[in-house]
Amino acid sequence: MKKTVQELAEFLGGTVIGNGDTVIEDVKGLAEAGQQDISFAVDPYTEYLPQVHAGAVIVEKEVPAGDNTLVVVENPRLAFSQLLVLFHPRQSVASGIHETAIIDDSAVIGENTAVMAYAVIGKHVKIGNHCTIYPSVFIGDNVTIGDNTTIYPGAVIHENCVLGQRDVIRAHAVIGGEGFGFATENGKHTRIPQIGNVEIGDDVEIGACTCIDNATLGSTKVARGTKVDNLVHLGHNVEIGEDCFIIAQTGIAGSTKAGNHVIFAGQTGCTGHITIGDNAVFAGKTGITGNIKGGQIYAGFPARPHMEWSRTQVYLKHLPEMAKTIKTLEKKIAELEKKTEH
């Protein structure tokens, strides 16, 4: 594909500063970009632009850029992603049902949907239009899947689950697996039947090998627009709000409710039966042990406001010398006490 910088700027809704007639053939990172490539830069990397020799660079505002042509847009990262899709579109999958797919007669498959080799689709399943079901996917009885949803190889959607429109379920994710509930008596554990389901809203992405357990009763929920990374676990009856980020190896225990726009950085651990407010942000490895107010950044174990945690870390670095100082002071105090006794 070949496009001029001006054509790309119009596609992105941006403004050209420089030569709009330059022909662009590919999208590359700043370090690799040449005269036929377009890249992007955000602070602090914009200071290196005079050393870059790309055909054009997408930026948020006009900056010193050497001999580079600039395309100014509101959100350079989003614009860059749009160009990646434009220049490197995903492989297209032809609609239709592969002869090796096993589909119950009661299932309803929408128009222009692809069901690929060795997929298994159970009773009374409803799959919308323009969906793609990759090889070896299992979809249990009574599952409903909205239009334009893609389910990648090896994923499992258990019975009664509901997926929205334009969802993406990555390879080997498990949606609606048995929730982890047991009753213990005399040291022996007896499973509590988990008879609920999982409901996933529109425009949700679920990463590879992520597990979202079904509810004991009712539904485990992931609301519209939330993006879940690989290797995440959401326990039974967890409810996640809209437009959240849940990053790799995060675990959220049962019946926790998170608001909208919450960010769980990697390896965050969260206890069950708590509430997390809107716009809370948790740094990597944060341990959440109780209810959390929204609108703040948290870190550490147990989770506390980030500035408080940062100050604590500074003190921790000085603990050995502080301990020595305290021992010295204690010795001097003891000596003074002896002198005053006489």
Q: Take residue 188 and report the two structure tokens written for it.
A: 């022996």
Q: Across 3-121, where does the E strand assignment appear?
A: 3-4, 15-17, 23-24, 26-27, 37-40, 56-59, 70-72, 96-97, 102-103, 108-109, 114-115, 120-121
**Distance (Å, whole) CA 331 – CA 156:** 67
Nearest to 70 by CA among 38, 28, 47, 24: 38
The residue written with tokens 């496009």 in the block is 3
Which residues pair with residue 298 across a beta bridge? Answer: 282, 305
Catalytic residues: 236
Four-CA torsion 129, 131, 137, 139, nearest 10 degrees: -30
The letter for the amino acid at 241 is G
**Distance (Å, whole) CA 281 – CA 174:** 26
The contacts of residue 136 (CB under 8 Å, 6+ apart) are 117, 118, 119, 153, 154
Contact (CB, 8 A) for 212 and 175: yes
Chain centroid to CA 82: 19
Helices (H) and strands (E) in the chain, counts: 4, 40
